[in-house]
Amino acid sequence: MSVNLSFFTDLHLRGQGPSSRKDDYPVSILSKLQYCLEYSSKNSDIALFGGDFCHSHKLVSDSVKERAIELFDENLKVPFIYTWGQHDLNGKDYETRHESTKAFILRQALRKANKTINEIPTDKDLIIESQGVKIGLIACPQGFDCFKWAKRISRRRNKEIDVRIALIHHLITTDDDKWFLLNYKDFETGTGKNRGFDVVLCGDLHQGFVPKTNDAGTLFINPGALARTQKSSSDVARPIRAVDVIIDSETKSVDYDFWPIMCAGTSEEVFKKDAPIVDDMERIEDSKKEEPMGFEDVISALKSISASKIDIWDMLEMKAKEESLEEDVLRVVLSKRPDA
């Protein structure tokens, strides 16, 4: 007997497709969400999500939001337990999480049917018991210094917990050659005898990494992002997958098994041939930048200062960029702008 926990991360739900994609991005992403919910409900005891459910804290498309809610209603049959990524938050501020589109979708999913959907706390374990195994879940989302967090939290393990799992949404890698990222060896997990975490499940780094176990016996896993938001070298090559964490009910030992997202298209099917390949380091640097103020936020700010004049062409350009309108299309539209 075993307890299975399915983990998937970085969905990046949005209403418009990135400029490098030629498929219908929202349809593709919603299909992946459906696949993961169906798989988890058939094969797992718990579904875990690692952050960046939406590509922005405010998702404008009502149809995409409504479909996401329907998918939870129709397909989720097991507890869905999650943490947050920077794209879910306004200004990467953890305190804004309940105002986000992600929070709205999950609240609506709870209201439609009898579901178990819980946020993983950051300071105290969420304890789930299944088949006689007590599992402690704790998270370090964006907005926290993950190394300082790990040093503090790893020393506060509840001795009644059989297996403790941390969900981390930060750019952690197990590849020593990637010196510009946070290395798993620097993530404090206690000692073998007094191990603070048994498993660390990571999101944020879209390319994922090869699972490794540190000297304390803590297993680090990142299956990679469900989304391919840019045509990067890793996104062209990597499989789109999720992972099962498997806990033996008797020995409490932990194993893992990757599973493919069967509905994910190949790189030839989803990326435009003439779209340039973005270097992975360039994409990582882009992800660290603050997101620009959204269109709705600008309107609210203008209202707050009682602005009397607004250039509609500036507003149009801002909205087009927020929705990832093709650059050549935007260029044609803006060419119609009258001279001042």
Q: Which two tokens stand for residue 129?
A: 């018991």
CA 116/CA 297 separation, integer angstroms: 32
What does pTM read for this prediction?
A: 0.82
pLDDT at position 301? 44
Structural Rg of the chain based on CA atoms: 21
User: Measuring CA to CA, which residue among 7, 23, 86 is closest to residue 245?
Assistant: 7
| Phi, psi (degrees; rounded to nearest 5) at 244 | -100, 130
As annotated, the residues of the chain forming the CATH 3.60.21.10 domain(s) are: 2-269
Q: How far is CA 219 from CA 152, 199, 265, in A?
A: 19, 5, 30
Give me the residues of the chain with pLDDT under 50, please: 290-293, 297, 300-308, 340
pLDDT at position 279? 75
CA 305/CA 126 separation, integer angstroms: 43
Is the CB of residue 247 less than 8 Å from the CB of residue 231? no
Strands 172-173 and 163-170: unpaired
| Phi, psi (degrees; rounded to nearest 5) at 124 | -145, 135
CATH superfamily of 2-269: Metallo-dependent phosphatases (3.60.21.10)
Q: Encode pLDDT of 236-281 as tens digits.
A: 999 999 999 999 999 999 999 999 999 999 999 999 999 888 876 6
pLDDT at position 300? 47
pLDDT at position 225? 97
pLDDT at position 305? 41
Q: How far is CA 211 from CA 46, 187, 327, in A?
A: 21, 14, 39
Q: Encode pLDDT of 199-223 as tens digits.
A: 999 999 999 999 999 999 999 999 9
Is the CB of residue 247 less than 8 Å from the CB of residue 133? yes
